[in-house]
Amino acid sequence: MREWLIEQLLRMNLSDSLVREQGFTRESYTAEETEAIDVFKAIAEELGLAVTEDAAGNALARWEVVGGGAAVATGSHLDTVPNGGAFDGGAGVVCGLGAIKMLKEADFEPQRPIEVICFRSEESSRFGVSTIGSKAMSGLLDLSIGELKDQHGVTLAQAVESQGFVWQDLLNAKRSKEQLNCFVELHIEQGMHILNHQKDYGVVKGVACPVRLAVTFNGKAGHTGTTPMDHRQDALAAAAPFISFVQETALQMNDAYGKALVATVSTLTASPNSMNVIPQTVTAGVDIRSVDDGLKRKMTDAIHMEAKRIEETTGVTIDIEVLVDNPSVLLDDGVARRLADAGVSEAYTAHRMDSGAGHDVMNMAQSWPSGLLFIPCKDGLSHHPDEYASAEDLKMGVELLARFLMEATSNDGNR
């Protein structure tokens, strides 16, 4: 199984190596993403699965049974961030196929269908919005995002249509609640919690969906050589202490409330961005995450208060725009118990944890009982060319998924 998993990952990454200096770039609704999904379809067909594609371009590989019924589904994605790794998303896709292979080789006969889903466009790197394929499948897609543009001026709608789909038709990808029994996503952890707790894998309780803010500091441009220091409204000088404030306040809130919160000033743009001009405007992108929505609100409130203080002391005005404010998602307790039980059956130890990153499962959980299974990745590294998960951990993921799928689709497992 280890060799088969690595071979299929190499095929889907169209590469002879899973770790390479430049990494992998398969952005949302590009020919590169389509090519990888085509390989997924080919592997699924080799396993004897029926392959279809929905209106959003999600690929569905189905192990059909007599009488049909609501399917038990697993899956993930194959798009990447620029210069990303081979395992973010790909691990979940290949392990889902591997679980099917394992069950077929064991002559298991499911009593309800099993699906492996390869979602389109999970990453937000191209258009600033994530999980488009699973949003469409879950009925959560807002067609207005079709006007979002990438750095080259291509709209999301245009990108979708460049791959043979019709933007308005993406709504037709929505599935009814009766079509699926439950959904489980396997993903690399992208962190160190599993290893730090000396466990084998992670079972996720909740997904910390983000609050994202655009904080714009409005100053006044001027000549850097002729404008006196005490007559300046320097937007960048006003933004500098704000960056430290976000970092320090998040640390303080972790200590004060005993709950996990992360807050990051992750982007900074200055205008006119010229060496001899005082910065007139600076926009800071702030990403706030916690499974506790109340704690996210406290952090947001603290940012507004700090903005008022900076305005009063610098003469710079500050605008705060809420780009994203998604409530965090608690996953299904029953599915989580089954994932933990699968580890007991296979002699693996589970760590119950939250996810600081968003995944397709957070959309699927709005319509179907859903769970998230983490396997370790080396040094917790992800979104990087050196991202790596061992063949042994991939095999563990297959065994856990296979056990879950077997229990969920047997006569005793049907709900």
Inter-residue contact 202 to 189 (CB < 8 Å): yes
Inter-residue contact 39 to 90 (CB < 8 Å): no
Inter-residue contact 238 to 217 (CB < 8 Å): yes
Inter-residue contact 122 to 216 (CB < 8 Å): no
- Residue 403 marked ligand-binding: no
- Residue 88 marked ligand-binding: yes
Burial class for 239, CB neighbours closer than 10 Å (0-12, 13-18, 19+): buried
Nearest Cα residue to 316 out of 290, 284, 354: 284
List, in sequence order, every residue forming a beta bridge with 246; answer none if it has no partner. Answer: none
Strands 180-188, 350-355: pairing kind: unpaired
Nearest Cα residue to 372 out of 386, 388, 351: 351
CA gap 318, 398 in Å, rounded: 50
Inter-residue contact 192 to 356 (CB < 8 Å): no
Other beta carbons within 10 angstroms of residue 176's beta carbon come to 9
- Residue 231 marked ligand-binding: no
Q: Which two tokens stand for residue 143?
A: 């067609």
Backbone angles phi, psi at 222, to 5 degrees: -170, 170
H or E element in which residue 230 lies? none
Other beta carbons within 10 angstroms of residue 107's beta carbon come to 6
SS3 at position 352: strand
Helix axes 391-409, 90-105, angle to 10 degrees: 60
Buried b (16+ CB within 10 A) or exposed e, 50-87: ebebbbbbbbbbbbbeeeebbbbbbbbbbbbbeebbbb
- Residue 107 marked ligand-binding: no
- Residue 152 marked ligand-binding: no
- Residue 123 marked ligand-binding: yes
CA gap 94, 76 in Å, rounded: 9
List, in sequence order, every residue forming a beta bridge with 317; answer none if it has no partner. Answer: 218
- Residue 120 marked ligand-binding: no
- Residue 79 marked ligand-binding: no
Residues in the chain, total: 415
Binding site membership: which residues? 77, 88, 123, 187, 212, 276, 289, 383
Binding site membership for Zn(2+): which residues? 77, 88, 123, 187, 383
Binding site membership for allantoate: which residues? 212, 276, 289
